[in-house]
């Protein structure tokens, strides 16, 4: 499966600018699966309920349209209002159709995320090509039970706005999740600077990465770009046959 990870500098609360930037970066890209960062169309601003859309909103329609144009699956997270409740929701669109979603389970207490949005309460696996993908968002990465491979998934996906101050944790956790679950890990982060509501600047260094089922780093980036990589299910099978650690799971 050919994967394209879009690591870019998200324009603050400017949806159309971010749609245009993504489209420009993806020009000429051929992929089966396209990954966008957490809150890709606004930046991380969970305290602004006016940014939340419904599942019939413009951002969902844009995702469906782009996935149709690229003949691919496309995912990323955004604020969604569903039955009067706001979630940080990862959306998966494939070839013009909405195929699934996941609501962020762990809300970032240090940033007050829980004051504005609700937590999801379910693990969600989605399928692209013949790869089963466990979906997670940013802070979820710190809680290994969320990623526990209890479903024979092939890829752990994490989309994030992970800041420079704790980027060493991001690198270590991505690799650990790959090793312990014997699955590919895809981490999609943003780059650039964002100014918070209190005027404080937050810096995002990228570090979008892909790890093999044995924990080898296969891709890593520090700049605005599309990272393209091909993943092979045989690598998963070989790793699990050679070192059958998953057989000793207690679930």
Domain boundaries, the chain: 2-248
Q: What is the rounded average pLDDT of the residues 52-66?
A: 98
Output the pTM of the full model.
0.97
Q: What is the rounded average pLDDT of the residues 149-165?
A: 98
Distance, CA of 125 to CA of 10 (rounded, Å): 27
C-alpha dihedral sign at 224, 228, 233, 234: negative
Q: Is the pLDDT of residue 218 over 80?
A: yes
Distance, CA of 217 to CA of 186 (rounded, Å): 10
**pLDDT, position 2:** 98
**pLDDT, position 12:** 94
Length of the chain: 251
* Residue found under tokens 């962020």: 104
**pLDDT, position 52:** 97
- Classified by CATH at the fold level, domain 2-248 comes out as Nitrilase/N-carbamoyl-D-aminoacid amidohydrolase (3.60.110)
Q: Is the pLDDT of residue 37 over 80?
A: yes
Cα torsion 46, 186, 156, 123 to 10°: value is 10
Question: How many helices (H) and strands (E) in the chain?
Answer: 5, 14
* Residue found under tokens 């690229």: 70
**pLDDT, position 112:** 86
Helix (H) or strand (E) run with residue 212 in it? none
User: Nearest Cα to 42, choosing from 82, 78, 85, 5?
Assistant: 78
Q: Catalytic residue positions?
A: 38, 104, 138
Q: Is the pLDDT of residue 175 over 80?
A: yes
Q: What is the rounded average pLDDT of the residues 39-46?
A: 95
Q: Is the pLDDT of residue 154 over 80?
A: yes
């Amino acid at each position: 499966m050919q994967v394209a990870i879009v690591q870019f500098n998200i324009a603050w609360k400017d949806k159309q600018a971010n749609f245009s930037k993504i489209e420009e970066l993806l020009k000429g890209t051929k992929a089966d699966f396209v990954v966008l960062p957490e809150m890709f169309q606004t930046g991380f601003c969970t305290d602004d309920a006016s940014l939340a859309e419904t599942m019939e909103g413009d951002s969902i329609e844009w995702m469906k349209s782009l996935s149709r144009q690229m003949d691919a699956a496309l995912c990323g997270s955004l604020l969604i209002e569903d039955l009067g409740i706001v979630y940080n929701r990862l959306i998966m669109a494939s070839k013009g159709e909405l195929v699934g979603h996941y609501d962020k389970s762990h809300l970032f207490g240090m940033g007050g995320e829980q004051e504005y949005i609700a937590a999801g309460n379910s693990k969600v696996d989605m399928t692209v090509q013949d790869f089963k993908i466990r979906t997670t968002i940013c802070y979820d990465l710190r809680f290994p039970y969320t990623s526990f491979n209890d479903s024979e998934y092939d890829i752990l996906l994490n989309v994030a706005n992970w800041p420079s101050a704790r980027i060493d944790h991001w690198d270590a956790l991505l690799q650990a999740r790959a090793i312990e679950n014997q699955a590919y890990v895809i981490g999609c982060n943003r780059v650039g600077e964002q100014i918070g509501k209190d005027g404080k600047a937050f810096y995002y260094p990228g570090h979008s990465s892909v790890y093999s089922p044995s924990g080898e780093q296969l891709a890593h980036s520090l700049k605005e770009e599309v990272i393209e990589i091909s993943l092979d299910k045989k690598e998963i099978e070989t790793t699990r046959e050679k070192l059958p650690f998953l057989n000793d799971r207690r679930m």
